[in-house]
C-alpha cells in the first residue's frame, strides 16, 4: 500500500510541471504544503508579507518563463496576495497563487477566516478554481500551470481546503500511478488508463418487406397477455 497526502501531491506535481520556487507565509492550513515542497526539491522562501511573496513569485515568472508559486493562508492572506496576482495578470507574467481554506464541510458556516476566495481571485487571473477532492490535485495543478504559460502568460489561482491538504489517496495500483504521472506531465487523462472495451452493437432486426398497408399485432397476441 502506498498512500500519499494532498500536500505531497501538490508539491510533487508542481515540481513535475517545472515550478522551482515557492514564496509564502506558512500558517493554517498550508504549512504541510510548504514542508512537502522542500522535500520534493522546490526552493521555499519564507516572506514577511503576502504581498511581497506574490510579487516575488511573479518576478520569478518574468525572469524564467516558468511560473513562480505563492503560498498563502486563507482569508486575509489571499486578499493581501491579490496585488501580485493582478500585477502578473496585467503584465503577462506566469505565476500560481495557492490559497488555503477551512474544511470543505464547513463552507458557509463562518469557518476560520472564511472568504469566497475563488470569486475574488477570478478577475485577476486566467484560471481560478477550488480543488474538490484529493485525487483531482494533479489535474488542477497541471491546469493552473498550463493556463499561466500557454497563450498570453498570466496568473492562476488554486484554492485548497484543509481536508484536501491532509486527505490521503492510495496510489499502489498501476493505473493510479499512470493517471497521476500522465496528468502531471500534461497528457490527456484518457492516455493514463486503458480504455474500456466498447459495448457490442445491438443486433439489427431484419427489415420487413414493404406492403401497401401497415399491419399491427392483434391484442390477443401481444406479449405478456394471455389469449382470451
Summarised one tens digit per residue, pLDDT across range 154-209 is 999 999 999 999 999 987 555 555 665 665 665 554 444 433 434 444 444 544 54
Task: Specify the pLDDT at position 16.
Answer: 95
pLDDT tens-digit readout, 26-37: 988 999 999 999
**Higher-confidence position of 36 and 117:** 36
Percent of all residues in the chain with a pLDDT value above 90, rounded to a whole number: 63
For the stretch 214-224, pLDDT in tens is 444 444 444 45
DSSP of 137-202, one letter per residue? HHHHHHHHHHHHHSSS--EEEEEEEHHHHH-EEE--SHHHHHHHHHHHTT--GGGTSPPPPPPPPP
- Asked if residues 24 and 34 have their Cβ atoms less than 8 Å apart, the reply is yes
Q: How confident is the model at residue 115 (pLDDT cuts 50, 70, 90)?
A: confident
Go through the domains of the chain in sequence order and give each one's CATH number. Answer: 3-184 (3.40.50.970)
pTM for the model: 0.74
Report helix, strand or coil for 19. Answer: coil
Is residue 103's pLDDT more than 70? yes
Check residue 144 and give its pLDDT. 97
Amino acid at each position: 500500500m502506498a498512500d500519499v497526502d494532498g500536500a505531497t501531491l501538490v508539491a510533487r506535481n508542481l515540481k513535475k510541471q517545472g515550478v522551482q520556487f515557492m514564496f509564502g507565509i506558512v500558517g493554517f492550513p498550508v504549512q504541510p504544503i510548504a514542508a512537502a515542497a522542500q522535500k520534493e526539491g522546490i526552493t521555499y522562501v519564507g516572506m514577511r508579507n503576502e504581498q511581497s511573496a506574490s510579487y516575488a513569485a511573479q518576478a520569478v515568472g518574468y525572469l524564467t518563463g516558468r511560473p513562480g508559486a505563492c503560498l498563502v493562508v486563507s482569508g486575509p492572506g489571499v486578499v493581501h496576495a491579490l496585488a501580485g496576482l493582478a500585477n502578473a495578470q496585467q503584465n503577462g507574467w506566469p505565476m500560481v497563487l495557492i490559497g488555503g481554506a477551512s474544511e470543505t464541510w464547513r463552507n458557509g458556516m463562518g469557518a476560520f477566516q472564511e472568504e469566497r476566495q475563488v470569486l475574488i481571485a477570478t478577475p485577476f487571473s486566467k484560471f481560478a478554481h477550488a480543488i474538490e477532492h484529493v485525487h483531482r490535485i494533479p489535474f488542477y495543478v497541471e491546469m493552473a500551470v498550463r493556463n499561466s504559460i500557454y497563450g498570453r502568460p498570466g496568473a492562476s489561482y488554486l484554492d485548497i481546503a484543509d481536508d484536501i491538504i491532509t486527505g490521503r489517496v492510495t496510489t499502489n495500483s498501476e493505473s493510479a500511478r499512470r493517471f497521476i504521472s500522465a496528468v502531471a506531465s500534461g497528457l490527456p487523462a484518457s492516455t493514463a488508463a486503458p480504455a474500456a472495451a466498447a459495448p457490442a452493437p445491438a443486433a439489427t432486426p431484419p427489415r420487413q418487406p414493404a406492403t401497401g398497408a401497415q399491419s399491427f399485432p392483434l391484442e390477443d397476441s401481444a406479449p405478456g397477455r394471455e389469449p382470451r
